[in-house]
Amino acid sequence: MKNYSKYPKYLVAVDCIIFGYDIQKKILKLLLVKRSFEPAKGSWSLAGGFVKEKESLDEAASRILRKLTGISNVYMTQSLTYGDTDRDPGARVISTAYYALTGISAIDYELVKDNGAHWRSVDDLPKLIFDHPRMVKKALADLQNLVKVKPVGFELLPEKFTLVQLQELYEAIYQKRIDKRNFRKKILSMGILEKLEEKEKETSKKGAWYYMFNEERYLKLDRNGFSFNLDVS
């Protein structure tokens, strides 16, 4: 090995698994696009794109998300990098997957529509191109593990939410029912939620108190050795 010049170079892309939670329908969704270029033009795909010369992988992923949805400052984290030689029939492309968590309501609906993107329930996905099904499967598994040990579920909800809504979110992610009293006992005992003096009155006559996630409080507890854990029955 003398220098770098004799080594091959490849196209490098990022693909974004954009999770959104539909608080009305209580289902977890993915934002998918119809591919606008060959190969596989017109097929369903994750939002993706090639990495530019002057941006990092993280920046490329943020750019792609922003272009599609109009939002930045979103929880986004790197998943695996896919590098099989034949994963893209057009050329050798190394692609790093990222997954993002966002509230569907926060998103610019017109922009999404103009980009030909659509929200699809995670348990009713269309056929996806290439190895995108693998990417989705992996990201979903990662998400299920992540929400158990980090308070990232809140990223999928509006700023104000009720305990019923929070529980429904966890039920949608875990795909199982949770006991109401145990769930509330556990999450409230952590001391990272703040009760507001305001009720959500759409879904019941009595109304349900709104809560907010107190991030500073969580970070402080975390520094003192507290571990978020919401692995409930």
Partner DNA sequence: TATTTTAAGTGTATTTAATACATTTATTCT
Partner DNA sequence: AGAATAAATGTATTAAATACACTTAAAATA
Distance CA 152, CA 162 (A): 16
Distance CA 31, CA 49 (A): 15
Considering only CA atoms, give the Rg of the chain: 20
Which of residues 75 and 209 has its CB atom nearest to DNA in the complex? 209
CB of 230 to a copy of itself, least distance (A): 16
2 binds a copy of itself (CB under 8 A): yes
215 binds a copy of itself (CB under 8 A): no
**Residue-by-residue DSSP string for 89-156:** TTS-EEEEEEEEEEEGGGS-HHHHHHTTEEEEETTSPPPBSTTHHHHHHHHHHHHHHHHHHSTTGGGG
219 binds a copy of itself (CB under 8 A): no
Which of residues 58 and 200 has its CB atom nearest to a copy of itself in the complex? 58
3 binds a copy of itself (CB under 8 A): yes
Which of a copy of itself, DNA, none has residue 206 at its interface (CB below 5 to 8 Å by kind)? DNA
CB of 160 to a copy of itself, least distance (A): 32
Task: Out of 51, 129, 173, 230, point to the residue binding a copy of itself (CB under 8 A).
Answer: 51
